């Protein structure tokens, strides 16, 4: 009888992390989810909830110890914990950039380093890192988030090359807009107030972001696609889940001159709107 497989998932309390956790539970995996809001318990859907703050090394170490006590295996690691700070580059404080990078990027590297010894011992494992369409192109007033996801793209390429000989495969999930984002992970830069020189353009961009997310794809569909890719014999390295217009934006960014891409995005998000 085949041993039941185990997945660790960060950011499992809401959004795409929660949808992915439910999708793995739906196909019979042992799911161990971590989030700052969790206490040690098993949810009704069979997902083990463990407290986890990926920005704190001691919290990561405690999560790993408790996860291995539940199951001695880690067949897959899904890193979906993330935070977003909206604001102009000029108005986003270094501490706010640091918070985003610590959560989205450095926190991911902590969990990867914790899972890899077990995966090397098993001579198998799947690592799924949540990037974004923003990991491929810049969006106005999302510089902190965009920088963290660009970092994830480069990190994943390095990780995949280094771990291949140990039977470990790596996947970058690049979601476009999806419904159901959580407001507690979507913050506004402290310097982005009514006196900001960017205020009118910022409000136009925030309205466009809200519109796109409200009409975005269903998180459940993404979770199912992540599970299917993880269970493939050979995982796809990039799994882009987005609407056609966002796929098109990536293609245009790759092939058109920068000034053309910049013009298209400025018009779309209204960043040339003057303050009154």
Q: What is the pLDDT of residue 44?
A: 67
Q: Check if the beta carbon of residue 269 is closer than 8 Å to that of residue 139.
A: yes
pTM for the model: 0.92
Q: Is 202 a catalytic residue?
A: no
Domain spans, the chain? 6-197+218-243
Cα dihedral across residues 33, 35, 40, 42: positive or negative: negative
Chain center to CA of 71: 25
pLDDT in tens, 192-243: 888 899 999 999 999 999 898 888 899 999 999 999 999 999 999 999 999 9
**What dotted CATH number matches 6-197+218-243?**
3.40.50.720
| Cα–Cα nearest to 168, from 110, 126, 129, 108 | 126
Task: From the candidates 97, 145, 198, 269, give the one annotated as an active-site residue.
Answer: 145
Residue by residue, DSSP assigns 193-238 as STT-TTHHHHHHHHHHHHHHHHT-B-HHHHHHHHHHHHTSSS--SE
pLDDT digits (tens, 9 = 90+) for 159-196: 999 999 999 999 999 999 998 765 556 788 988 888 89
* Rounded Cα–Cα distance for residues 121 and 136 (Å): 34
Classified as helix, coil or strand, 165 is helix
First-to-last alpha carbon distance for the chain, in angstroms, is: 69
């Amino acid at each position: 009888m085949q041993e039941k497989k185990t997945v660790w998932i960060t950011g499992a309390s809401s959004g795409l992390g929660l949808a992915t956790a439910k999708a793995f539970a739906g196909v019979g995996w042992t799911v161990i989810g971590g989030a700052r809001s969790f206490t040690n318990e098993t949810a009704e859907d069979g997902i083990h909830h463990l407290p986890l703050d990926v920005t704190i090394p001691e919290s990561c170490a405690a999560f790993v110890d408790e996860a291995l006590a539940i199951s001695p295996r880690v067949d897959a690691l899904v890193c979906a914990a993330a935070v977003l700070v909206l604001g102009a580059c000029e108005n986003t404080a270094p501490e706010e950039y640091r918070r985003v990078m610590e959560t989205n990027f450095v926190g991911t590297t902590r969990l990867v380093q914790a899972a890899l010894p077990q995966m090397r011992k098993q001579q198998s494992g799947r690592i799924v890192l949540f990037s974004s369409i923003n990991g491929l192109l810049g969006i106005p007033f999302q510089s902190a988030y965009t920088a963290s996801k660009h970092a994830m793209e480069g990190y994943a390429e390095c990780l995949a090359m280094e771990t291949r000989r140990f039977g470990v495969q790596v996947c970058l999930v690049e979601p476009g807009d999806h419904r159901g984002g959580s407001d507690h992970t979507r913050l506004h830069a402290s310097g982005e107030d009514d006196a900001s020189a960017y205020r009118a353009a910022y409000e136009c961009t925030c309205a466009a972001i809200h519109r796109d997310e409200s009409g975005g794809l269903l998180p459940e569909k993404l979770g199912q696609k992540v599970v299917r890719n993880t269970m493939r014999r050979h995982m796809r390295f990039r799994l882009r889940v987005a609407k056609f217009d966002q796929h098109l934006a990536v293609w245009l960014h790759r092939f058109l001159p920068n000034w053309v891409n910049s013009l298209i995005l400025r018009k779309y998000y209204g960043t040339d709107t003057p303050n009154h």
